[in-house]
């Protein structure tokens, strides 16, 4: 499997989740073979994370985001860096809300779809990393 690495920039608004979908369409390098389940789960987690950043990271002046997307023979990895306010995430405490809940599924869904999810604040930047191992 060839390795692929891509970096994209977006600013919301005007960019939105549709922009992230278009970026994903461009991100997969030619000749890379990843199973449909791995690709779908990774892309769903990445779009959900980007949607959360766009929705919660804009405090009125927009949010800038850098998406770094990497494919290796063993894993699919995305790192998103955004200019939004600091958040507090305890990935170990993230659970799916009850059936009646109208929100709060995003982080739980992301965690269920990828093998590893991380968040840290570096300087004035939120850094989110998701990694999904590639099935054999």
Contact 68, 46 (CB under 8 A): no
Q: What is the pLDDT of residue 116?
A: 94
Choose between 123 and 136: higher pLDDT. 123
Decide: residue 123, CB within 10 A, 0-12 exposed, 13-18 middle, 19+ buried.
exposed
What is the topology classification, in CATH, of domain 4-133? Heat Shock Protein 90 (3.30.565)
| pLDDT classification of 1: cutoffs 50, 70, 90 | very low
Name the least confident of 2-6, 52-56, 106-110, 117-121. Answer: 2-6
pLDDT in tens, 78-127: 999 999 999 988 888 877 777 776 666 788 889 999 989 999 999 999 99
> With 50 as the cut, is the pLDDT of residue 3 above it?
yes
Q: What is the pLDDT of residue 76?
A: 92
% of the chain beyond a pLDDT of 70: 92
Residue 6 CB partners (closer than 8 Å, separation 6+): 23, 26, 27, 29, 68, 69, 70
pTM assigned to the model: 0.86
Q: What is the rounded average pLDDT of the residues 42-67?
A: 89
Q: What is the DSSP letter of 30?
A: T
């Amino acid at each position: 499997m060839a390795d692929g690495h891509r970096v994209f920039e977006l600013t919301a608004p005007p960019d939105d989740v549709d922009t992230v979908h278009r970026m994903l369409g461009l991100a997969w390098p030619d000749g890379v073979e990843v199973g449909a389940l791995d690709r779908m789960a990774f892309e769903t987690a990445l779009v959900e994370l980007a949607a959360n950043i766009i929705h919660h990271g804009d405090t009125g002046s927009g949010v800038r985001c850098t998406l770094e997307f990497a494919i290796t023979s063993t894993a699919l990895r995305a790192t998103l860096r955004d200019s939004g306010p600091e958040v507090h995430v305890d990935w170990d405490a993230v659970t799916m809300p009850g059936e009646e809940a109208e929100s709060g599924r995003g982080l739980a869904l992301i965690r269920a779809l990828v093998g590893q999810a991380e968040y840290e604040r570096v300087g004035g930047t939120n850094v989110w990393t998701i990694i999904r191992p590639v099935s054999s």
